[in-house]
């Protein structure tokens, strides 16, 4: 039996062959990938009506004024009321949910990291996403096999872009040497 490739810590970049419109032009950081499925956060879909100040207020955390306008991401269509913080640095004290990922990144679903960020004591680079993208066993591999996704190294500049949006899709493709205008919805196999 062939061992499955572990894509944890890489970026998924949707192609024009992506059949699910919710993921058109998406860039996703894969937080987990195994034979049990995959879990990731969409990096380039900022929410239009929810900012960091709104989220902190909702969970009862006072924050620095500088955080009020910080963008919150739509991490994906699954459990959209659940928040995830992806950051660099160590697991924040008291954060039992902190999961260490490749390249020194940490994923947390705890308010402890939000409290540290709100006090100005948190990690240097971070993002907050509501919801996530998930795949069942073999589902992501099937989508990759159908040319719906490209994978590439997860550059921190793409992950922690201070102004998330559509340009991240273009930037991710260019980081692979691909001109976004050259992509076709019809892909062949050699």
- pLDDT tens, per residue, the chain with 190 residues: 444 689 999 999 999 999 899 999 999 999 999 999 999 999 999 999 888 888 988 889 887 777 877 899 999 999 999 999 999 977 777 777 789 999 999 999 988 899 988 888 888 899 999 999 999 999 999 999 999 999 999 999 999 999 999 999 999 999 999 998 888 655 554 4
Q: What is the pLDDT of residue 184?
A: 65
Candidates 3.30.379.10, 3.40.1740.10, 3.20.20.220, 3.10.20.30; CATH matching 10-182: 3.40.1740.10
Classify residue 7 by burial, with Cβ atoms within 10 Å: 0-12, 13-18, 19+: buried
Domain boundaries, the chain: 10-182
Buried b (16+ CB within 10 A) or exposed e, 41-61: bbbbbbbeebbbbebbeeeeb
- Model pLDDT for residues 29-72, shown as the tens digit of each residue: 999 999 999 999 999 999 998 888 889 888 898 877 778 778 99
Please name the helix (run of DSSP H) or strand (run of DSSP E) that holds residue 171, with its range, or none: helix 167-175
Percent of the residues in the chain that have a pLDDT greater than 90, as a whole number: 65
The runs of H, that is alpha helices, within 15-145 are: 52-58, 111-118, 139-145
The answer to whether residues 54 and 44 touch, using CB atoms and an 8 Å cutoff, is no
Report the predicted TM-score, pTM, of the whole model to 2 decimal places: 0.91
């Amino acid at each position: 039996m062939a061992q499955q490739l572990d894509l944890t810590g890489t970026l998924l970049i949707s192609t024009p062959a992506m059949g699910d419109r919710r993921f058109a032009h998406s860039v996703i950081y894969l937080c987990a990938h195994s034979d049990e499925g995959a879990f990731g956060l969409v990096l380039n879909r900022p929410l239009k009506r929810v900012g960091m100040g709104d989220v902190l207020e909702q969970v009862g955390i006072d924050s620095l004024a500088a955080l009020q306008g910080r963008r919150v991401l739509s991490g994906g269509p699954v459990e959209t009321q659940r928040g995830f913080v992806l950051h660099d640095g160590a697991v924040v004290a008291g954060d039992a949910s902190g999961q260490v990922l490749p390249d020194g990144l940490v994923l947390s679903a705890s308010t402890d990291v939000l409290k540290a960020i709100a006090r100005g004591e948190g990690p240097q680079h971070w993002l907050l996403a509501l919801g996530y993208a998930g795949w069942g066993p073999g589902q992501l591999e099937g989508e990759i096999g159908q040319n719906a996704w490209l994978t590439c190294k997860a550059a921190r500049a793409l992950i922690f872009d201070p102004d998330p949006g559509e340009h991240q899709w273009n930037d991710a493709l260019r980081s692979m040497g691909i001109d976004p205008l050259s992509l076709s919805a019809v892909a062949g196999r050699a």
